[in-house]
Structure 1
Amino acid sequence: MNQTAALALESLPGPEPIYQRSPRTLRSLQTWAIVLAGGEGRRLRPLVRRLFGDERPKQYVPLLGPASLLRQTLSRVGRLVPPERTVVVSRDEHAQYIAHEFPDGPAPHVLLQPEDRGTGAAVLFAAHTIRRWDPDATVAVFPSDHFIREEDTFLTHVAEVVAVVERHPERMVLLGARPTTPEPEYGWIKPGTPVSETTDGLVCRVQGFLEKPAVETAQRCLTTGWLWNTFAFVTTLPTLLDAGQEFLPAVDARLKLINAFARSRHEGWAIRQAYSLAPKSDFSRAVLERCPSCLAVSPLPPLTWSDLGTPRRVVAAASSLPVRPLWMTSGRRTVNALTAIFQGPPANLRTIR
């Protein structure tokens, strides 16, 4: 796993992979999953250092059970999409951690970015890679650091949103969480007019999007029907690439050139060149905040969801589990001791109703 991203891609399948389908697997052979695992998790470094004694990014740490957050995400996603159609986007610097995530059994495809160019580059790198094999694919994008307690409910909803996108291939459908607090560290989505529906409610056009607003603005969003952005979304590959070309042209132009060198001895060089020249970009700010006409939102059903971006959220999520992680039950590592790592009282877990 210390090889370049080019070598990591050598095992990509053809356009019609064969796998043993389970009742939960999406029926469409054109559905792919993109799992974003390239973040550094700097806000959680003190917690990780205290609990595990090292500097691993949070997605490679078993914060909420015996498996890492990335492994939990892949297990969840794997109930809908098989590994041969799952792409994990990480970093060269994380290769040592990735190597331990797939000890046996089928593994997803891993793209190793040579530099951090933000979520814009991560999403588009995966999209252009999938285009080589399945240019009309439906893609579901998932962060690797989320806590979702009611997984069956979540996966059923994702499958319904995939069906909506397959009926409306021009749409990019965000999964919106019903907010309980004026959280300034999340993106906020304002639903507009309906375009479709799931069993959990209407799928609506996005009328407004604010990424990490001020507390006062977040309070207004909370009281006027806005939703949290989970940064999980479903769209078609053509719609995603069109959005990249329109709103992230400099990033898209660099990354699309990589495919010309695919499976050649120059592919690693092409990836390094593309990343050295591409500007850093945030997908939420560059694309979602501009509210393109393709953008829609589907509210999640009642379930417990959290973005594990801060120590308080991690402690709150761990406290809600029926079997708490070992680090919460060993000696001085109590809730109070752990929350002392940061200032302020423990956060309440966001239970969406």
Structure 2
Amino acid sequence: MLCALIMAGGKGTRFWPLSTEEKPKQFLNLIGEKTMIQMTIDRIKPIIPIERIFICTVSKYVNLVKKQLPDLPEKNIIIEPEGRNTAPCIALSAFIMKKYYKDANMVVLPSDHLIRDEEEFRNIIKTADKFIEHNSSAILTLGMKPNRAETGYGYIKYTKKGMSISNYNILKVDSFVEKPNKKTAKRYLDEGNYLWNGGMFIWSIDNILEQIKLYSNDTYKALKMINILGEQEIQYFVNTNYKYTESTSIDYAVLEKAQDIYVIPSNFGWDDVGSWEALDRYREKDDAGNVLVGNSKIKDAENNLVISSSQDIIVEGLNDIYVIENDGKILVGRKSNVSNVKNLKEII
């Protein structure tokens, strides 16, 4: 049996001022008509029913989750008192999910990524689940085939040894690599045995808890009492003890230390939509190459990114600029500098 954990506690600071701590990017409709978290749920629902989909988020976003996902059972919202990175989030969620689905496998997904070929994505998830069913001590991740020397992603280095299931290769992971500089990223692309790390994992719940116990024992000890608590007692216990977990990523806490790790090279049109440039890549453009979102209009202008959340914005006779409006703030600059938007927060 396969369950899904969707991590939705991030602050989305790279998309400021559109994304704020009050309403970060997973709750915004950056790419289409639905929000990123709604798109994530819709993508996985054809193979995992809603009662086996869990959302882990911090307390301040619970109402947003309930509003945007009204069909999600309330017990499936796992509440962190504070964000402490992905390792405590996954540990907490695994302990709680195990109470409802004792012997389940678990796919871990970010809440704010774009996947264009959803059918291929689901086929790979089903293949991964089949692999874990027969290799319960393994950890499996999805690695995206790179098409450019990207410096904004971590990488997975794999060996040529592996196996094939349902026409998909499953290869042994050699190492996880931090975000490289441009020269190193080009080398990874040339060498051909590196994949982008998209932060998606499949494992048995029992195995990931065992790995956390082994490699991140403080986190395990801080949360293990969940095993024997009643449903009504869990949140108070978590609120009291979560601060004793190790605030670190699952990559650092477990993946860089575990032995039995595999990767499926995947090609389903993935992007973490982590920058304004990504938004410009995937939003529909008009005939002049402009991206227009919200109450935005353009006249005699080309190759602009114009985003409004509430105010009317009209751009005339300008090319290659960005205009971003949210909550009374309007930012204007050269489009080539749009990645620097987050740095302007200090000025405001």
Aligned pairs for 1:65-144 (under 5 A) are 65-104=32-71, 109-144=76-111
Amino acid paired to 2:67 = H
TM-score by length of 2: 0.81
Are 1:260 and 2:228 matched, yes or no?
Answer: yes
List, as ranges, runs of 4+ consecutive aligned residues in structure 1 with deviation greater than 4 Å. Answer: 104-108, 332-335
Q: C-alpha displacement at 1:107, in angstroms? A: 6.9
Distance of 1:168 and 1:334 partners within structure 2:
53
User: Once superposed, what is the RMSD of the aligned Cα atoms?
Assistant: 2.7
| 1:313 match | 278
Aligned length in residues: 309
Distance of 2:182 and 2:10 partners within structure 1:
25
TM-score by length of 1: 0.79
8 Å Cα contact 1:200-1:300 kept in structure 2:
no
Q: Does the residue aligned with 2:128 lie in a helix, a strand or coil?
A: helix
Aligned pairs for 1:335-346 (under 5 A) are 336-338=304-306, 340=322, 344=336
Distance of 1:92 and 1:325 partners within structure 2:
34
Q: 1:299 aligns with which of 237, 253, 265?
A: 265
Are 1:32 and 2:24 matched, yes or no?
Answer: no
Amino acid paired to 1:197 = S
8 Å Cα contact 1:65-1:325 kept in structure 2:
no
| 1:16 match | none
More strand by share: 2
8 Å Cα contact 1:33-1:87 kept in structure 2:
yes
8 Å Cα contact 1:315-1:335 kept in structure 2:
no
Amino acid paired to 2:204 = T
Q: Does the residue aligned with 1:287 lie in a helix, a strand or coil?
A: helix
Could you say which structure has the greater relative contact order, defined with CA pairs below 8 angstroms and 6 or more residues apart? Answer: 1
Q: C-alpha displacement at 1:306, in angstroms? A: 0.4
Distance of 2:71 and 2:231 partners within structure 1:
25
Are 1:286 and 2:278 matched, yes or no?
Answer: no
Query: CA separation of 1:103/1:34 partners in 2, compared to 1, >3 Å: closer, same or farther?
Result: closer
| 1:331 match | 297
| 1:203 match | 170
Q: C-alpha displacement at 1:319, in angstroms? A: 3.4
Q: C-alpha displacement at 1:312, in angstroms? A: 1.2
Q: C-alpha displacement at 1:326, in angstroms? A: 6.8
Distance of 1:185 and 1:65 partners within structure 2:
23
Instruction: Mark the runs of 5 or more structure 1 residues left unpaired by the alignment.
Output: 1-29, 348-353
| 2:15 match | 44
**Identity score, percent:** 26
Q: Deviations over 1:30-75 (max 9, x none)?
A: 21111111111111122447xxxx9411001111222110011011
| 1:162 match | 129
Query: CA separation of 1:326/1:102 partners in 2, compared to 1, >3 Å: closer, same or farther?
Result: farther
Instruction: Mark the runs of 5 or more structure 2 residues left unpaired by the alignment.
Output: 307-320, 325-332, 340-348
Q: 1:243 aligns with which of 211, 230, 236?
A: 211
8 Å Cα contact 1:86-1:108 kept in structure 2:
no
Question: Which of these two proteins has the greater Rg computed from alpha carbons?
Answer: 2
8 Å Cα contact 1:141-1:233 kept in structure 2:
yes
Query: CA separation of 1:345/1:317 partners in 2, compared to 1, >3 Å: closer, same or farther?
Result: farther
